[in-house]
């Protein structure tokens, strides 16, 4: 694939860490650094697989996590007496996360107040969908929610299809066209529905890149009824325009 997605929807490495901590229901004051580091690196690998435009700060945080992990894995006999008096290697990271979390919560509270009249609870700034017909609130999903859903879809693709010679060629443009046509008669659809007919890992990746491109263009909005629930895709009402069925 010769296609690189440059997104404005990316959040930073602290956002990813807070996402993982909340998703795994981890005590922020007692982070299992080995587990979090491994999961953080998995998300980084997914970003590289998709050839996303990863900021250098993600790489710096990966190095920081691995450094903390290595310090905490040192056998007690290898730790100098003066080092034993030092604070927890995670302390500085926890401090940064708590400060950032406080800032994020304040920003989210302001966004909620702004959107109260629309019965929408946004998780970040950007295009906001209209209220659902059933008046139930929903959240805009984050890029990390999307990557989590993408990882699940990849794991469900039969392994034998990974090694088949795929005769069909898929382009991001083709998949964008397909998604538009799926949304002509359906005001909303589940993210997982896009991949039910996928026959290869390549098709899954190209379809996901098409979703990211449509988000970047503000043509679709990805939402959830609650954090970490199944993702739904809806057309952005602000850019809604007729789609040819030809």
Q: How many CB atoms lie within 10 A of CB 232?
A: 19
φ/ψ of residue 148, rounded to 5: -65, -45
Work out whether strand 188-190 and strand 139-140 pair parallel, antiparallel, or are unpaired: unpaired
Question: What does the pLDDT look like over 4-26, one tens digit per residue?
Answer: 445 555 678 999 999 999 999 99
- What percent of the chain is helix, strand and coil (3-state, nearest 5)? 55, 5, 40
Q: Quote the pLDDT of residue 95.
A: 95
Residue whose tokens read 């007496």? 81
Beta bridge partners of 235: 220
DSSP state of 121: B
CA dist 206 to 11, 96, 122, Å? 22, 36, 28
Average pLDDT of the residues in 156-162: 65
Query: In terms of Cα–Cα distance, which of 192, 210, 191 is closest to 202?
Result: 210
Q: What is the pTM of this model?
A: 0.76
pLDDT tens-digit map of 55-82 = 788 999 999 999 999 988 876 555 555 4
Cα–Cα dist 11/16, whole Å = 7
Nearest to 50 by CA among 163, 166, 209, 243: 209
Burial group, residue 216, by CB count within 10 angstroms (0-12, 13-18, 19+)? middle
pLDDT at 48 over 80: yes
Domain residue ranges of the chain, discontinuous segments joined by +: 13-235
**Encoding tokens for residue 223?**
């939402």
SS3 60: helix
The SS3 assignment for 17 reads helix
**137 vs 225: CA distance, rounded Å:** 7
Average the pLDDT over 43-49 and give the result: 90
């Amino acid at each position: 694939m010769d296609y690189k997605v440059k997104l404005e929807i990316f959040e930073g490495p602290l956002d990813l860490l807070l996402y993982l901590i909340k998703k795994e229901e981890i005590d922020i004051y007692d982070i299992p650094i080995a587990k979090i580091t491994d999961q953080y690196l998995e998300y980084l690998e997914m970003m590289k697989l998709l050839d996303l435009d990863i900021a250098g700060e993600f790489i710096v945080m990966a190095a920081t996590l691995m450094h903390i992990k290595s310090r905490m894995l040192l056998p007690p006999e290898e730790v100098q007496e003066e080092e034993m008096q030092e604070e927890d290697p995670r302390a500085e990271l926890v401090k940064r996360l708590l400060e950032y979390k406080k800032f994020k919560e304040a920003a989210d509270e302001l966004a909620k107040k702004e959107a109260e009249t629309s019965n929408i609870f946004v998780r970040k700034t950007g295009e906001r969908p209209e209220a659902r017909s059933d008046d139930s609130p929903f959240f805009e999903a984050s890029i990390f929610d999307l990557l989590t859903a993408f990882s699940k879809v990849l794991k469900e693709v039969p392994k034998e299809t990974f090694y088949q010679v795929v005769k069909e060629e898929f382009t991001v443009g083709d998949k964008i066209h397909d998604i538009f046509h799926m949304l002509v008669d359906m005001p909303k659809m589940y993210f997982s529905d896009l991949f039910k007919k996928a026959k290869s890992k390549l098709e899954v990746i190209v379809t996901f890149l098409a979703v990211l491109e449509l988000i970047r263009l503000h043509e679709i909005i990805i939402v959830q009824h609650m954090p970490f629930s199944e993702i739904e895709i809806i057309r952005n009402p602000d850019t809604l325009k007729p789609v040819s069925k030809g």
